[in-house]
Amino acid sequence: MTRISPIKAFINTPISQLCCVVTLAVPFATSLMDIKYLFLLSYTPAIAQWHQYWRFATFQTAFTQESDVLLGVLLWYNFKVLERLYGSHKYLTVIFLAFVWNAVLVAALFFLNQILVQFTGWSWFNTVASGPLAILFSLLAIYYSKVPVSYLFEVQLTPQDNPSHVPKKLLLSDKSFVYVLTLQMFVNNGWHSMVPCLVGLVTGCAIVNDFLPGQNRWRIPLRAVSVPEALTEPEEEEEEDAAEPVRPLTTQLLNTFRA
């Protein structure tokens, strides 16, 4: 399995850094300008009556709740390991494809829901939560499949005072913290957040299994984004550096006289 070294801050992960900044800045700007309503998506009246189909794109660009903003930034920060795994260019392409296909699937669910309403009179949902929830859950599916566990640890659930009782322990890993954050985001807005999160998981599973149209044949043009070539394969560079350790100064001097 692929070995992924720890990443300090945002070193060699410009896309992850950009996503964190945008996740913080856009909700702040929309709150100051009082335009949060532009990022809300509901079938009635926005789609059915006003025909504002552009909302299928804008609803993924900004959170409207402070708790979602915090969870989103933490998840973007933890998913930076995927940028290290894919390279910045491919990682940005994966995010863009997830953005597009999540919007398509959410739109399809809205229209299927309206067909169900016509036949049964019962509606599943009319509104979905704003923000890149679907994109983050697409990345969660990739994170679960591609990123190996670095370490395991146990959490003691019962006291060890009585030796006759077998202590109960909970086995966790370094990835458990990410799963706790995603679980909180999944239930944070009730059914409104569950729908885009489930759509994102479907898209992420399609990416993992190479089922998503366009993921293997298309990349975002380099002219459209400034990503240095040195960041496309950062893992190989680190492995080459690690294979050649730095020699102490005394050893270098001795080797010079020996030569």
Residue 89 corresponds to which amino acid?
Answer: H
Read off the pTM.
Answer: 0.81
Q: What is the pLDDT of residue 178?
A: 95
Q: What is the pLDDT of residue 2?
A: 47
- CATH, domain 14-258, list 1.10.10.10, 1.20.1540.10, 1.20.1630.10, 3.90.1720.10: 1.20.1540.10
Q: What is the pLDDT of residue 7?
A: 61
Q: What is the pLDDT of residue 229?
A: 46
Q: Give pairs for 217-224: CB < 8 Å, separation 24+.
A: 218/93, 218/97, 219/89, 219/90, 219/93, 220/89, 220/92, 220/93, 220/96, 222/89
Q: What is the pLDDT of residue 253?
A: 45
| Bond from prior residue into 213 cis (ω within 30 degrees of 0) | no
Q: What is the pLDDT of residue 169?
A: 83
Outline where DSSP puts E strands in the chain.
41-42, 127-128, 152-156, 169-173
Q: Quick count: other Cβ atoms within 10 Å of Cβ 153?
A: 11
SS3 content of the chain, % helix, strand, coil (to 5): 60, 5, 35
Backbone angles phi, psi at 49, to 5 degrees: -100, -45
Burial of residue 244 (number of CB atoms within 10 Å: 0-12, 13-18, 19+): exposed
Q: Quick count: other Cβ atoms within 10 Å of Cβ 159?
A: 8
Q: What is the pLDDT of residue 1?
A: 46
Backbone angles phi, psi at 5, to 5 degrees: -75, 155
Q: Which regions in the chain score pLDDT beneath 50?
A: 1-2, 227-244, 253, 257, 259
- Which tokens sit at 173? 């890993």
Q: What is the pLDDT of residue 135?
A: 96
Q: What is the pLDDT of residue 16?
A: 94
Contacts of 98 (CB under 8 A, 6+ apart): 134, 135, 138, 139, 200, 203, 204, 207
Burial of residue 219 (number of CB atoms within 10 Å: 0-12, 13-18, 19+): middle
